[in-house]
A and B are shown apart, each in its own frame.
Chain A
Amino acid sequence: MEQATVKSGAPKNHNGLISTVLFVLTYFVARMVLEQEEMAESLRVLAALLPVAPFAWMLWEIIKGVRSMDELEQRIQLEALVVAYPLTLILLMTLGLLEIAIKLPPEDLSYRHVWAMLPVFYFLGLAIAKRRYR
């Protein structure tokens, strides 16, 4: 989620950005490590769980960021999620139905790739909401 707009005079907080970068880095490290199929299973599980801790930190920073926003900024975030959440639902539902109807290429349309659409939907919703209050 987008970082909170710093209110007038409020100190800047970079933890949100650092935690996001750390999460993305650990995710790609995990993906790279998991490509090595000869690795021990316990290490593979450890690699798969690697991004969870940075994600938890990022989530905490998002919650703090939203709490520090003013009422209009919180409303904009809510409206962004109102767009993103149903779009996510319809994407997953449609892919689920298509999977029953035809054989979808798992390398392109598995949940490993589809999740990347969720931030896209969120930023689309954010752009729409911001435009409304410009």
Chain B
Amino acid sequence: MKNNIRELREAHNLSQEELARKLDVSRQTVNAIENDKYDPMLPLAFKIAKVFGKTVEDVFLPEHKKK
């Protein structure tokens, strides 16, 4: 699954550390999600969308990950 968290985070002038604090996760987790290394579970996906004032569909794109 692709996402545009990096773009949204930069548009909101947030560092990975600041976003991690808002989401109550580690910076490494934010980094892994941004780099498509990890797809978050639904509660975290909704939390991420809420931080940016978007819907989950706006943030996460249902595109198959390239193997």
Interface positions of A (Cβ within 8 A of B): 5-9, 70-73, 75, 132-134
Tell me if B37 and A133 are in contact (CB < 8 A): yes
Given contacts A132-B37, A133-B37, A134-B37, contact A71 B21 (CB under 8 A): no
Given contacts A8-B17, A8-B21, A133-B32, contact A73 B26 (CB under 8 A): yes
Asked if B37 contacts A8 (CB within 8 A), the reply is no
Q: Knowing that A70-B44, A71-B25, A134-B37 are A-B contacts, what are 9 other residue pairs whose CB atoms are under 8 Å apart, sorted by A's residue number?
A: A5-B28, A7-B24, A8-B24, A71-B40, A71-B41, A71-B44, A72-B28, A72-B29, A133-B32
The reply on B49 being an interface residue by CB < 8 A is no
Residues of B within 8 A of A72 (CB): 25-26, 28-29, 32-33, 38, 40
Among the interface residues A7, A8, A9, which one has the most CB atoms of the partner chain B within 10 A?
Answer: A8
B contact set with A: CB distance below 8 Å = 17, 20-21, 24-29, 32-33, 37-38, 40-41, 44
A89 to chain B, nearest CB (A): 28
Interface contact B40-A8, CB-CB below 8 Å = no
- A8-B17, A133-B32 known; A70+B37 contact, CB < 8 A: no
